[in-house]
Amino acid sequence: MNNETTDAAVARVHRSKADARLSYNRLSRWYDLIAGSAEKKYRDTGLAKLSAQYGEKILEIGFGTGYCLVSLARSVGAEGRVTGLDISDGMLAVAKERLQKEGLGERVDLHPGDAADMNFITAGSLDGVFMSFTLELFDNPEIPRVLAECRRVLKPGGRLAVVSMTKTNPPGMAVRIYEWFHEHTPNYADCRPIFARQSMEQAGFEIKDVSLSSMWGLPVEIVLGAKR
């Protein structure tokens, strides 16, 4: 599928980054109650595909309340390092508390910011990047930029694991209904289904593994790619 077809089929994101930050700041203390349990099994599958190893350097983009940061920090051990990037200061505060309670704060560096520009990370310095229900928050023109940044910071052969709401062709009824809510209530249905695998392929990643599942009738794609 070419870029033109993908962009035409995927709904646009109309909410500003500032509005997104405010929304997630408000949700930060309640997010696990609202969506945490529903997303858990998909995040766990994505973490298993990434398979972070002892001593590795891993980045999580859109770490939210820090659930996956804990798992990644345990996997890389005392010799490894985890970096977290999230647009929300509120989420960063919650994640920091979680890491400290688990005794893992010293293994993780947390940064507020936008994954479309990760100049604070040295090119070719990471073994893996993880994104769970995050890539679909970016508007269509930004998705290639985010994936290009992921590719830049990874070592040759480095892994990228993406968990994302995805579209089928043609899209099912659940996707059509969700996209209607996304269009009319963007502050609540802020993300939308995308073509994660195709976007990763177009960004130059070699696809190693793909799983397709369903959450509330919405297709979820869990993709593992590697930097060529």
Domain chopping of the chain, boundaries: 3-227
64-76: pLDDT as tens digits = 999 999 999 999 9
Q: What is the DSSP string of 104-116?
A: -GGGEEEEES-TT
Helix runs in the chain, H state only: 3-9, 17-27, 31, 37-50, 67-76, 89-101, 142-153, 173-184, 196-202
Report the candidate in 125, 132, 179 with the shortest Cα–Cα distance to residue 152.
125
Looking at the DSSP bridge assignments, the partners of residue 130 are: 60, 161
Residue 188: the pLDDT is 65
Q: Compute how many other C-beta atoms are within 10 angstroms of the C-beta atom of residue 219.
A: 18
Residue 4: the pLDDT is 40
- Confidence bin at 222 (pLDDT 50/70/90): very high
Q: Contact 92/117 with Cβ under 8 angstroms?
A: no
29-48: pLDDT as tens digits = 998 887 878 899 999 999 99
Q: What's the token pair of residue 133?
A: 């229900």
Give the CATH class of 3-227: alpha beta
207 vs 187, higher pLDDT: 207
| Rounded-to-integer distance, Cα 4 and Cα 162, Å | 22
**What is the phi-psi region of residue 135: left when phi exceeds 0, alpha when psi lies from -120 to 50, beta otherwise?**
alpha
Angle at 219 between CA 213 and CA 222, to 5 degrees: 55
- Residue 211 sits at φ, ψ, to 5 deg, of -125, 145
Q: Flag whether pLDDT at 225 surpasses 60.
A: yes
User: What's this model's pTM, rounded to 2 decimal places?
Assistant: 0.92
